[in-house]
Chain A
Amino acid sequence: MAVTTAQLVDWLERYAGVIAEQKQYLTGLDAAIGDGDHGINMDRGFQTVLVKIEPVKNKDAGTLLKTTGMALVGSVGGAGGPLYGTFFLRAGAALDGKSDVSREDLVSALEAGLKGVVERGKANLKDKTMVDALTPAIARAKARVQEGASIGEALSSAAEAAETGMKGTIPLKALKGRASYLGDRSIGHQDPGATSSYYMLRTLSEALAEVPQGAKTATS
């Protein structure tokens, strides 16, 4: 079952909604170990995304995600802007020109996005960053697709893995970003970037789960 641009738009709208709802929570997580602006910055970014994607909602998935990436790069600032911006730019580049995205295409796009994040931020697993949520989640999505699961099932498993990865950042000592200055004092706090990354995968899973099996939404 192909994923449509409309579903990806639904994803971005859901994600923007969750970020807006959780703005204070994310900012609170960041205040504990960072500089206390993650929720504010991400919300500003996704409100911009909602405006900027309006003219490209009927275009291909690559254009949609690249537009999202550019909107984030140009509006979020901080570390979140380049990292989430790069994620969507790379994922979009992997889906260039595609309106019907296969399960495998989508997983490849997520992998390309993650690769971009790792290159930009130079974080390793267990550094207490968004990579700790994204890496196990995208690996799980890939494995489930290879086993023959539907994209909805695969992303549902991925969201679970992201949640586990997010919670797994709590006992870690931060080795990247501003939280690293705290050393041992960063232990016991959940990483805000891993949290917003979990929301990203959970909303993607929701957007893909809600389309009934066999029903294909028309795109332009």
Chain B
Amino acid sequence: MADVTTATRLKKLINSPESEVKDALAGMAAAHADLIRVEYDPNVIIRKDPPKKGKVGLVSGGGSGHEPMHGGYVGLGMLDAACPGAVFTSPTPDQMARATKAVDGGAGVLHVVKNYTGDIMNFEMAAELARGEGAKVNAVITNDDVAVQDSLYTAGRRGVGVTVLLEKVVGGAAEAGYDLEKATALAKKVNANGRSMGMALTSCIVPAAGKVTFEIADDEMELGIGIHGEPGRERTKLRAADEIAEILTSTVVKDLPYKRGDEVIAFVNGMGGTPLIELYVVANAVNRYLQKEGIKPARWLVGSYITSLEMAGCSVTLLKLDAETTKFWDAPVHTPALRWGV
């Protein structure tokens, strides 16, 4: 009864906050039966074809509400399994332990973990459980968000857009036969070469909370927003897309820093509530800025790939390319959300 009230008031396409994740998982299983299968309790999305002997397994996971990350990236050339938690809440160790076991083809399993306190602790517990059963498990942590200060006095930078690019690149390498140590080293390199920054025009609404995560006026934007609607660097007056794109891109460029002559993947990501046409407006400004700086956007990804429910806004991620990274970015991929080369 309470559920119906909540759902109506929320004006979301859900049946109840409690059933949302499972209902969506069942939908994914039906829509992508050729690529994935879904197990429940613990909830895990697993690649349809059985673990390839000698192939490193790639497992990621995180709170739900960021779709298509991570479940949409399960398939050939990317993840072997994904563990969806409750909305914006890290999954639990039994999920990652199950996923690890299911995809272990004897060559070990690499966990891709975004740098959030809960995710880190739950994946650590899962790795302990899996190692207890004899699995070889490594973990790589993504922390590419330049908006938050990285210091001894914070939990460190958040893992955001680079996570998607890393899952593709390392997934390609695992498919090509990289062993666990080489795959881990590549994953660390990709994370080290990537930087991101996001912004929000509107808040998201976590169904179980039932109200906006943050209040923001019609003429304001939040710069440096996280993918859960966490506050960023600055609340400021809304500006034109070109200006916003330049703020995001220049901050990212200066952080690594990316230099004249660098080749990059430019990833313009939608937060969930922003139409693709606006993302292309941003991409245009990102391109102009990079050209001006002499940085070559050799590859592009434009679309909503790591989202924050219905939040409107975008993020810009750059990943410096070298021959190895480019090779595995270009390698075939066939997942619910990314497909090329096959």
Contacts and interface: CB of A to CB of B under 8 A. Distances in A.
A40 B118 contact: no
B89 A41 contact: yes
B178 interface: no
Contacts of B117: 79, 121, 176-178
Given A73-B94, A120-B121, A78 B155 contact: no
A74 B90 CA distance: 11
Interface stretch (A30-38, A138-146, A203-211): A30-38
Contact of B155 (A73, A173, A181): A181
B116 interface: yes
A175 interface: yes
B208 interface: yes
A75 interface: yes
B90 A37 contact: no
B172 interface: no
Contacts of B88: 35, 37
A194 B230 CA distance: 21
Contacts of B42: 74
B340 interface: no
Interface of B is mostly: loop
A82 B153 CA distance: 22
Among B90, B149, B213, max chain A CB count under 10 A is at B90
Interface string A70-85: 0001111111111101
A180 B116 CA distance: 11
Contacts of B155: 176-178, 180-181
Contact of B209 (A27, A82, A177): A27
Interface in A82-96: 82-83, 85-86
Contacts of B116: 178
Contacts of A44: 86
A197 to B, nearest CB: 16
A1 interface: no
A183 interface: yes
Given A175-B153, A177-B155, A178-B155, A77 B121 contact: no
A118 to B, nearest CB: 12
Contacts of B90: 77-79, 81
Contacts of A176: 117, 155
Interface string A16-42: 000000000001000100011100110
Range class of the A interface residue count: 20 to 34
A82 B148 contact: no
Given A36-B206, A40-B209, A73-B93, A79 B121 contact: yes
Contact of B92 (A36, A75, A175, A178): A75
Contacts of A83: 121
Contact of B153 (A41, A180, A185): A180
Interface residues of B, number: 33
Contacts of A50: none
B9 to A, nearest CB: 15
B213 A77 contact: no
B7 to A, nearest CB: 16
A82 B91 CA distance: 11
A25 to B, nearest CB: 13
A86 B129 CA distance: 13
A120 B90 CA distance: 15
B228 A35 contact: yes
A72 B284 CA distance: 48
A75 B43 CA distance: 11
Given A36-B206, A44-B86, A75-B92, A82 B122 contact: yes
A183 B208 CA distance: 27
Interface string B216-231: 0000000000101111
Among A37, A79, A181, max chain B CB count under 10 A is at A181
Nearest to B214: A31
A43 B178 CA distance: 43
B85 interface: yes
Nearest to A185: B231
Contacts of A175: 153-154
B222 to A, nearest CB: 13
Contacts of B206: 36-37
A31 B230 CA distance: 9
A132 to B, nearest CB: 16
Among B86, B92, B93, B116, max chain A CB count under 10 A is at B92
Closest 10 CB pairs of A and B: A82-B121, A78-B118, A79-B118, A77-B89, A180-B154, A79-B117, A177-B117, A77-B85, A181-B148, A40-B208
Given A41-B86, A77-B85, A181-B149, 11 more contacts: A31-B209, A37-B209, A44-B86, A74-B93, A78-B89, A79-B90, A81-B118, A120-B121, A177-B155, A178-B117, A180-B155
Interface of B: 42, 63, 85-86, 88-94, 116-118, 121-122, 124-125, 148-149, 153-155, 158, 206, 208-209, 213, 226, 228-231
